[in-house]
Amino acid sequence: MTKQFSGIIPPVITCFDEEGRIDEEAQREVVRFQAKHVNGFYPCGTYGSGPLMTIEERKRVAEIVVEEKGSCDVIVHVGAINTGQSVELAEHAQSIGADAVGAIPPYYYKYTSEQLLDHYRAIIRAVDLPVFLYNNPGLSGNPISAEMLATLADEGLAGVKDSAFDLVSFYMYLIKVRKPDFIFIIGTEAIAAAALDAGANGVISGLANVFPEFMASFYRTWQEGNPRKTGEHQLKVVKARSILKYGPTLTMTYAVLKMRGMNPGHPRAPYQDIPASLYERAEGELRNMGLL
């Protein structure tokens, strides 16, 4: 596979120590572990605790991931609560050699379409890198319609990472965008097979943070082109991720990496390590699935 921004792309977590500082050693270990199996990285996003970090911390993590990326693409998440911060992060990502940037709509407040369009125009103007829009209405509170996406594609947006968990709205993106080389990335492994069949380039998969080999093997199954085999594999993927949802998925991710013998540190407050009882229950079920 040589296409850019394709295959399996983990939204790599950020490793914090017990005091909540970035643990660079652990971070490099996690990136190197994933890099053996995956095709790209999406640091500083939702899984990457980007919104919980300062601008300076986000820059540092982006640098580490670029340094350790191996042959992978890196799409640095630069989405922030306001336009100025997103532009600053995008300029930094370009300066350190990232392959692209991605940005969730500004969150907390609700914005009009015109305000959202101008936000993305400012990011597109600021860098020469491909810019991805990261649609996640559940977290941003600002959904991006297919019409808005088509407008931004015409104005230079390179692609979309769609984490709405709504296959029909993803299909509408594919139908409405007119730009021929626009890049569609499905922002969850949960509906990945269907998205790939319809034209998605790749999968930004939270589960690939902990089971990169399993997700790489899912992607190879899809490439073989046997739909029923892909369907079966997809169900296994959904079953595995349903176990990761016993607690807040982000906190479960650190726990499962620990089950796998790594030392990913801890999530940042307000998140906390999961309770021991939950750890054991998830470990048992992942073992039953043959994933541990």
In angstroms, what is the minimal distance from the CB of 97 to a copy of itself? 27
Q: Report the distance separating Cα 135 and Cα 15, nearest Å.
A: 25
Spatial neighbors of 124 by CB under 8 A, at least 6 apart, are 131, 152, 155, 156, 157
Torsion of CA 123, 104, 237, 181, to 10 degrees: -30
Q: Is 97 a residue that touches a copy of itself (CB under 8 A)?
A: no
Residue among 271, 283, 285, 292 that touches a copy of itself (CB under 8 A)? 271
Enumerate residues 236-255 that contact a copy of itself by CB under 8 A.
238-239, 242, 247-248, 250
Q: Is 276 a residue that touches a copy of itself (CB under 8 A)?
A: no
Where helices occur in the chain by DSSP H, the ranges are 24-35, 55-68, 83-95, 113-126, 137-140, 146-154, 167-176, 192-198, 212-224, 227-244, 249-259, 276-288
Active site residue 107: no
Residue among 17, 25, 56, 82 that touches a copy of itself (CB under 8 A)? 82
Q: Mapping DSSP to helix (H, G, I), strand (E, B) and coil, where does residue 264 land? A: coil
Residue 10 structure tokens: 């983990």
Residue among 36, 110, 125, 287 that touches a copy of itself (CB under 8 A)? 110
In angstroms, what is the minimal distance from the CB of 69 to a copy of itself? 26
Active site residue 179: no
Number of residues that bind a copy of itself (CB under 8 A): 59
Which residue is catalytic, options 47, 69, 120, 161?
161
What is the chain's percent helix, strand, coil content, to nearest 5?
50, 10, 40
Q: Is 113 a residue that touches a copy of itself (CB under 8 A)?
A: no
Beta bridge partners of 184: 160
Q: Is 226 a residue that touches a copy of itself (CB under 8 A)?
A: yes
Enumerate residues 136-165 that contact a copy of itself by CB under 8 A.
139, 141, 165
Residue among 52, 76, 78, 255 that touches a copy of itself (CB under 8 A)? 52
Q: Is 292 a residue that touches a copy of itself (CB under 8 A)?
A: no
Range 219-228 contact pairs with CB under 8 angstroms and sequence separation of 24 or more: 219/7, 219/8, 222/192, 222/193, 222/196, 223/1, 227/197
Q: Is 270 a residue that touches a copy of itself (CB under 8 A)?
A: yes
Q: Report the distance separating Cα 217 and Cα 111, nearest Å.
A: 40
Q: What are phi and psi of 119, to 5 degrees?
A: -60, -50
Active site residue 109: no
Q: Mapping DSSP to helix (H, G, I), strand (E, B) and coil, where does residue 133 land? A: strand
Q: Which is nearer to a copy of itself, 18 or 261 (CB)?
A: 18
Q: Report the distance separating Cα 198 and Cα 187, nearest Å.
A: 14
Residue among 18, 114, 128, 181 that touches a copy of itself (CB under 8 A)? 114
Active site residue 161: yes
**Which residues of the shown chain bind a copy of itself in the complex (CB under 8 A)?**
20, 46, 51-52, 81-84, 106-112, 114-116, 118-119, 122, 139, 141, 165-168, 171-172, 174-175, 190-191, 193-194, 197-199, 222, 225-228, 230-232, 234-235, 238-239, 242, 247-248, 250, 268-272
Could you give the residue numbers annotated as active site?
46, 108, 134, 161
